[in-house]
Amino acid sequence: QKANYETAKDRVENAEVQLDQAKRTAQNRELDYYLSEEDYGLAAQKRDNYYLYDRTTTMFGAYAQAVGANASDVGADASVATSKAGVQTAQAGLESAKLNLEHANVVAPVSGTITAINVTLHNMASNQSPAYTIQSDAPCKVVFYVAEQTARNILPGTDAVVTKEGKDYDAKILSVYDTIDPDTGLFKVEATVTGQGSSELIAGSSVSIRTITRRTDNALAVPIDSVYYDGDQAFLYIAENGKAKRVDVTTGISDDETVEITDGISADDKVIITWNGSMRDGTELKIKETAASTPAEEAEQTAGAGDIE
């Protein structure tokens, strides 16, 4: 019985050992299962990550291509802009060259005759003196200045006489400025010489000029030396019944020789034109007949001095 007991005991112990082994095997299988699930999950995640990576890589590659294309466009635009800037620079250089070429050509502003040359070949030209002096073929112009009242009475187209060294030249008033010249405080007048011999007048020289500044028809004019003044009152003497008679008169326009009488005498009066310091109103006279009073069509005034242009 003891032997059976020992045998049974060994069988129980073996069964317990087998049971433990079976439990450990089952646990190992369960662990393997769990590990397999984890491996499957990792594999699935890896697969998903791979797909995501592949898509991301593809999209990134496409984006990189787009960026590269855009960079190419930007580079092309920059190249175009650079080319345009080069064209503009070349155009500016061309315009500058044309301008320099124009400056190299000497063109006379007027037609005429060269009277002086101040430049020589291969030498520097001075900016202090003109390269050439030209006497223009155009009719010479005279510039002079008059007071406001005189300027109002001068009309363009009016005849004038220019005098240079005792020689007269026919001229016409060209223009009368309606603003005061700031340098002279007078009004500028321009005349052009129309008669022959105008080429004798040198530009820049001074001349005198006469023109009609006021006009009156059927004027009664007397020699200017026959009119005297008592303060502001003009008077003259006429011969009446063999005696001198003082007559107060009103004067009008005048020139260097005659003065217009607008009131006080008539054309039939005999004006005394010979001066005598002892002559008074009522002085006895010895009359010598002369043309005392003369109707005049017009009277002239000397406008003044002018310069040739």
Domain ranges of the chain: 1-93, 106-138, 140-211, 219-297
- The CATH code of the domain at 140-211 is 2.40.30.170
Tell me the pLDDT band of 18, cut-offs 50, 70 and 90. Answer: confident
* Residue pLDDT, tens place only, 97-144: 777 767 667 777 777 788 888 888 878 877 788 888 877 777 788 999
Residue with tokens 């590990």: 35
- Exposed / middle / buried, residue 139 (Cβ in 10 Å: 0-12, 13-18, 19+): middle
Calculated CA dihedral for residues 174, 180, 181, 187, nearest 10 degrees? 40
- The CATH code of the domain at 219-297 is 2.40.420.20
Instruction: Write down the pTM of the prediction.
Output: 0.42
Tell me the pLDDT band of 230, cut-offs 50, 70 and 90. Answer: very high
DSSP conformation class of 22: H
